[in-house]
Chains A and B, each alone.
Chain A
Amino acid sequence: MTKLTSKITAVLILVFIGVCMVFGMFGNKKLRSSDENRELSKRPALSRSSLIDGEFAEMLGSYTADHFPLRTNWLKLNSKLLEETGEGIVNGVYVADDILLDADTSRRASSGSCVAEINRFARDYGGAVYVVAVPTSSGVYRERLPEHLDVYRESQQISDFYDRLNKDIKRIDAYNILKMLNDNYIYYRSDTKWTSYGAYCVYRTVIQKLGFLPTTFDKYSIRHVTSDFRGNLYNRSLCTSVKPDIMDFYYCNEGAEVVSCTGIYNSGKIVDKRIYDDQQLDSDYVYSAYLGEEVPLLKIKTSVNNERKLLVIKDSYADCFIPFLTQHYSEIDVITPELLEGSASSFVDFGDYEQTLFLFGIENLSDSSIFAALNR
């Protein structure tokens, strides 16, 4: 290489590095990334322990990456590169032709402690307990994943989970219902979760088990609220080659209405909520349009006149499922144990409900502490 070329290289690279560094250091800092749907890391504070272990440099490293100029564009380039090379796995997300599937098997663990917590709850509880474990899109569409990424068999995981539940707990097999219908739009392309339609299909079975006749599909009028929804798998991969998703709200014509809907925070603060919250459609987390921003406890009262009360213990999979239940109960109370700080019994009296429904995505059952609040 000639000296001149070397000099040009030096100037070019140094200028590029310098510009990126200066903008990274002094440019505007965002607190949140809407594409990744997460808080960006804050400037790390110096502390004795973080300096001793070298943790400070790690935090500084992720701070540098989080506030790198044009981070989102870099990530999109990253996504394009990884999609085109190798197997097409971007940060643990497998890019099949028209759907993103979770391929990060390291995130999954056993659900042993969850089973124990549910069994303990059921033992002390007087009424009937129903459990629905919902597979993720990579479970239902597992044949689209390369074989070696499918080490984690969700159908197997769900049946193991069901087998270990107490005998008198009623289990509902969502996996096979969804598997049979997988030609339909039952899962989002960019999210691990099911769509409203997927939830409706499972609702038909669940509500029969709970002792009601399901509302038929033709009774609903469906509103496409957005065709621009990008879910958690997009947040991880920023892969734009898969079409954004459609989100639907289901309204039951001539059916029962929701009379009141209140959310209660850990602090005891009470807020008015809605089953479908249009305002959330403009937020970073569009999915929260179902039931609005998440609260530890949600109390729904309907115009149904049968004095029946249902307790739902759930995660985000249930958000689009609960609206279907409002046609059958005069009161539905919804607990999100993940958000509860104290004990659940200080919020509600379990004895008030003759039925309790657990509805969870199987992917969230690997979090062993998720039900800790139930039996505290």
Chain B
Amino acid sequence: MIYSSLLFIYGFLPLSLLVYYLMPRKAQTPALLAMSVIFCGLFGLRYLVFVSAYALINYGAAGLISRYRGKNEMASAVFAIGVSFDIISVFVFRTELFSPLRSAFGFPERFFPIGISFMALSAIGTLIDIYSGKEEADSDIVRFSLYFLFFPRLIMGPVLRYRSFVKVLESRRSELDEIGVGLTIFVKGLSKKVIAADTLYILYEAVRSTDVQDMSILTAWLGIIAYMLCLYFTLSGLSDMGIGAGYCFGMRMPQSFNYPLFSSRIRYFGAGWHIQTVQWMRRYVTKPLYSHFNGRIVRRLLFICVWAIFGFWYTFSLNGLMWGVFIGTAITIESRINRGKIIDSTGIIYTGIVVMMSGALLSGEDAVYSFRYLLAMAGSGSIADKFSFYLVKSYIVILLICMYASTNLFRNMMVRSGKNRIRIAFAAISPLVVLAALILCTALMMYSGDSGMILMKL
């Protein structure tokens, strides 16, 4: 049951809110765990067993590392086993490398543990923190399991350090206005997914249905803009829905995206895209490596390597790796250019071009296709044809609205307007806007009951 489904919005979410707010505060954490267990169970009992085992194994590893920390070898051994387990389990389910292992444990071919990529990052980070003594292992098994199973965090993160998660959990407020904020974020995410991403996906599919070798420039660019916007709206939509649902329980988790697509610098794109995951990479990969290497060029190469790992984490294929290398290299080159020389409008244009080119790398099913697509974008075919005009005619309005929605222009307008009339007027109509958006999304989901296209299984 994905968040963007009628069953979640008109069944699971209201019922779990009802149960949660009927509980005394002390019983709320176990209640959240119970509801998360049900949520996981709805993906299949097999999945529930998998996630529970995953949480328990990490709980055991964390406890052992903490206990043996004085005696170095034992702690190292447990740490190594724990981290290997986490890494291998991602590879088992996200690649074909270990398919015999997968079938040996009785998992069917199409089984995919949702959120495994985020869970693995959380688990590895926590084990590292405990091993290095930055954090104590938590003996509270309910809270520790909730760290993995908490349903608003399950599908699309955010990756939080264990300490931050506990802080969010313990400082939660049960107030009506918190639910209002949560529902607003939830509906915002839902609209991103159901209205924007699903429409853009059709455009992207239409472009993909044509032969890349005689694709016109305009078609290629339309397709890739649609893909990048669709990816952004899918990932950030699902993440918003999770965060919004979290707010409804009074838990304030941070946003995962900060309007990355049309930034004025490539590094702003890097800083605004899957923020917590990028931070995770910096904290647990880049920094430890930097402490060993001092040379400027070596560090630059390391920086690109870490981006390559980050890209690889998305697809577990060469394409993601290339995407990471491309973005990492672009940020490195940009940092060498004299910053004073670039004005914002130039920045937006070249960032846009780089990001869209990176999209061609990420979207292809293999490297050859991606390079052909890049060639089409560069102009191996005609400039425009009948098909591209048809696409422009059909999608231009949606495309422009989506592009506007993916920028921070509206938020900036709200921030700048201070306490003036625009802000008050918007505050007055915002409940109705939220309701209207929810109604539109409900209508769009009615035929199939959900909006399950997720473009990328993480």
Contact = CB atoms under 8 A, between A and B. Distances in A.
Interface in B417-436: 427-428, 430-432, 434-435
Contacts of A82: 444
Contacts of A78: 443-444, 446-447
Nearest to A50: B44
B448 interface: yes
A60 B5 CA distance: 11
A78 to B, nearest CB: 4
Nearest to A52: B45
Nearest to B450: A61
A13 B438 contact: yes
B202 interface: yes
Contacts of B47: 54
B88 interface: no
Nearest to B15: A21
Contact of B206 (A20, A81, A148): A148
A55 B45 CA distance: 10
A7 interface: yes
Contacts of B432: 12
> Which of B47, B438, B449 has the largest number of chain A CB atoms within 10 A?
B449
A64 B177 contact: no
A2 B440 CA distance: 25
B387 interface: yes
A144 B431 CA distance: 42
Contacts of A65: 6, 445-450
A121 interface: no
B415 to A, nearest CB: 12
B54 to A, nearest CB: 17
B43 interface: yes
B398 A86 contact: yes
A75 B447 contact: yes
Given A17-B9, A57-B7, A87-B202, A64 B449 contact: yes
A90 B312 CA distance: 36
Interface string B180-201: 1101100100000000000100
A74 B1 contact: no
Nearest to B41: A51
A3 B175 CA distance: 10
B394 interface: yes
A81 B443 contact: yes
- Interface range for A: 35 or more
A147 B387 contact: yes
B46 interface: yes
Contact of A21 (B14, B202, B209, B387): B14
B295 interface: no
B390 interface: yes
A53 B447 CA distance: 23
B65 interface: no
Nearest to B390: A146
Interface string B10-46: 1101110100000000000000000000000111111
Contacts of B442: 20, 74
Given A71-B446, A81-B444, A61 B430 contact: no
A147 B390 CA distance: 9
A14 B14 CA distance: 8
Nearest to B114: A54
B430 A68 contact: no
Contact of B427 (A1, A16, A53): A1
B6 A61 contact: yes
B306 interface: no
B46 A52 contact: yes
A342 interface: no
Contacts of B180: 1, 5-11, 13
B210 interface: yes
Given A21-B15, A57-B43, A62-B449, 11 more contacts: A1-B184, A6-B176, A6-B180, A9-B431, A11-B180, A17-B13, A65-B448, A74-B446, A81-B443, A87-B202, A88-B394
**Minimum-distance CB pairs A-B, first 10:** A54-B44, A65-B449, A6-B180, A10-B180, A6-B177, A57-B42, A9-B180, A77-B443, A74-B446, A9-B431
28 contacts: A5-B427, A6-B180, A7-B180, A8-B431, A9-B430, A10-B180, A11-B176, A12-B435, A13-B180, A14-B179, A16-B435, A17-B9, A17-B13, A17-B14, A21-B11, A54-B46, A54-B47, A57-B1, A61-B450, A62-B448, A64-B449, A65-B450, A68-B10, A78-B444, A81-B440, A85-B199, A87-B202, A87-B394
Interface of A: 1-3, 5-14, 16-18, 20-21, 24, 51-57, 60-62, 64-66, 68, 71, 74-75, 77-78, 81-82, 85-89, 91, 146-148, 151
